[in-house]
Chains A and B, each alone.
Chain A
């Protein structure tokens, strides 16, 4: 017993006891409130994490199956009875390149007039000789553009005439849906997209191993297609996005870094600087669609740049990401200890020398992060691109940044709006996986480089 009973006036002791009693009375409800509050916090975090989880599970579960697609391998006979064309022209003496081109085009036109559907149909019927299907039914399980691919093969190699070769052909979107079970199999004929014999044919081919689910590499190599949805791919959109990212990197990064350097290291404290600062902070919060309006009014309507061109998209995205890059670079510059600048200035280096020789090299990881944040933001942006015509349907890989093109997020927008919902929901999710994959890769590269660079310095 080390306690010491102190002689206190009893009135004071009473008051003290009363006070303690009051405190103790409130304790349990106060602790209950504390627990509840903490639980709200946990619940909020749980909700936020759950949203992330649901989003990813939904995208992955819908999108991953789209990376494999019903594909059949058929023996295709290039039947001279069907393919009746002249020999392919060769360049002749005294012919101008333009004339040769014209002769070639004429020949190709002839090839196109061939009934390639017959070729495809024969190949399908030969694969399942005991099935009773008519022409339409047989052709409904194969993607419509396969006949053009056969034609292109023939154009490239006219020597195929009279030969039989195995050819991989994509199943049609409807066949793919049916075989993957995306459509309720018990629905009556009237609600099925494929006729009963066609469904049976598809099932039989799958059973016999002539049809299988193969990795859908064409998602990466093909361009968008409306008539042949199963063969639609992201190549055009990907290259379009790539051009835009190049424009952003070439323009936004140097301009952004230069502005940040100016504001952080050189700008005198005056009205103009204040104005630029407020302006940049505000621009960072301007809705992206407003930049789209700017692009439509200035680049398209005033400068008459072409609609749907990645160059214009890149310019709009440059203006949009510029504030992000400036703000991120500035905070990187601000993190450089003033002692470094003072040391350099103290040795007689000029302001410019200090910045370019000492400050910027140190901030390189920060600038890299800023760049990637900006590029990732630009990569995922959709709304402004819709206003400069990038939502046009383009079935070609753009050769230059001035050609018509779409972009990855716009392609997602276009695909989600496709009428063939059953098929394109998965396709859209697959495109989203590709887009998110790109963004995650970008960020991972940034984190990797930053840690390496920071460790080195």
Chain B
């Protein structure tokens, strides 16, 4: 299964028939060290030479990566390495930061995300996001989950809306805990519950991709374990990208891992490869705790 003998992309053997066309990822000029999957999954999100600038300062340098469908991709790296910045490019959340400029190309199902014609509202409905700190709205639990479907007009009537809300809460494994107090404020829940509420809120819009920006960094170990379990379940239906500062978490929940350092995507590959046999020295140093 380990492919670390393959150094030259062109010499790579394609083990599966499921890939219709070979990714162009291996033909572009890049310093990133890549290890493909043994059985590659179809690509959902494709980034090519993405750079991000805050004013005159460059935060991200020519990042190219494919995000596979129905899998969890983890971005790891020391803080300030650009992993969250890159994540926020995927649904254009960086647009909301003044002075932020993105170059390069990001595609969702082949469509350019940064195309001026593209509606960012629709994009964000398709690429949902869960944030570092649980941020429930100051509304009831029900209204929190119903928020997305309401603004997007996803439910034709009240019953449909209730179905969506209950379904989302169930998928977020929160329903059992809150079914008796759906109309109490969401801010009254515990931290872990709040974060699951935020996940339910994101699921309610039925996005195709869910971006998670260090979703467990503000939670205790038990709550973290629950969220991780949930992420694992969600993988069956969603494409998930998770940014985490915890390598154990990346190892536990993800199938593929990308290591960022100083704004550069240093190495990416199957999670197992990254954690057991990284090919880059910097990756090795990081996962063994030399810096971080």
Contacts and interface: CB of A to CB of B under 8 A. Distances in A.
Interface of A: 1-6, 15-16, 19-20, 22-27, 30-31
Interface in B151-180: 151-154
Interface string B38-62: 0000111010000000000000000
B267 interface: no
A24 B118 CA distance: 11
A23 B125 contact: yes
A4 B42 contact: yes
Given A5-B20, A16-B208, A23 B152 contact: yes
A27 B21 contact: no
Contacts of A1: 21, 110
Counting chain B residues whose Cβ lies within 8 A of the other chain, the interface size class is: 20 to 34
Contacts of A27: 119, 121-122
A30 B20 CA distance: 38
A22 B110 contact: no
Given A1-B110, A16-B206, A23-B122, A6 B42 contact: yes
B152 A22 contact: yes
Contact of A2 (B23, B151, B206, B208): B23
B107 interface: yes
Nearest to A4: B42
B208 to A, nearest CB: 7
* Chain B CB within 10 A, most for which of A5, A6, A31: A6
B154 A19 contact: yes
B69 interface: yes
A2 B154 contact: no
Interface string B193-211: 0000000000000101000
B17 interface: no
Interface string B125-166: 110000000000000000000000001111000000000000
Contacts of A22: 152-154
Contact of A23 (B42, B109, B153): B153
Contacts of B208: 16
B107 A2 contact: yes
Contact of A26 (B24, B42, B109, B152): B152
Interface string B98-114: 00000000010110000
B69 A4 contact: yes
Interface of B: 19-21, 23-24, 42-44, 46, 69-70, 107, 109-110, 119, 121-122, 125-126, 151-154, 206, 208
* Chain B CB within 10 A, most for which of A1, A4, A6: A4
Contacts of A3: 109-110
B191 to A, nearest CB: 27
Nearest to A30: B121
A387 B176 CA distance: 68
Contacts of A15: 206
B125 A2 contact: no
Nearest to A5: B20
Given A1-B110, A27-B119, 12 more contacts: A1-B21, A2-B43, A2-B107, A2-B110, A6-B42, A6-B70, A15-B206, A19-B154, A22-B153, A23-B125, A24-B122, A31-B119
B95 to A, nearest CB: 14
A138 to B, nearest CB: 71
A4 B125 contact: no
Contact of B206 (A19, A24, A26): A19
Contacts of A25: 153
A431 B121 CA distance: 55
Contacts of A26: 152-153
B233 to A, nearest CB: 17
Given A16-B206, A16-B208, A19-B206, A4 B43 contact: yes
Contacts of B69: 4, 6
Nearest to A29: B153
A136 to B, nearest CB: 72
Nearest to A24: B122
Nearest to B19: A4
Contacts of B125: 23
A234 B220 CA distance: 71
B46 A2 contact: yes
Given A22-B152, A22-B154, A26-B153, A2 B121 contact: no
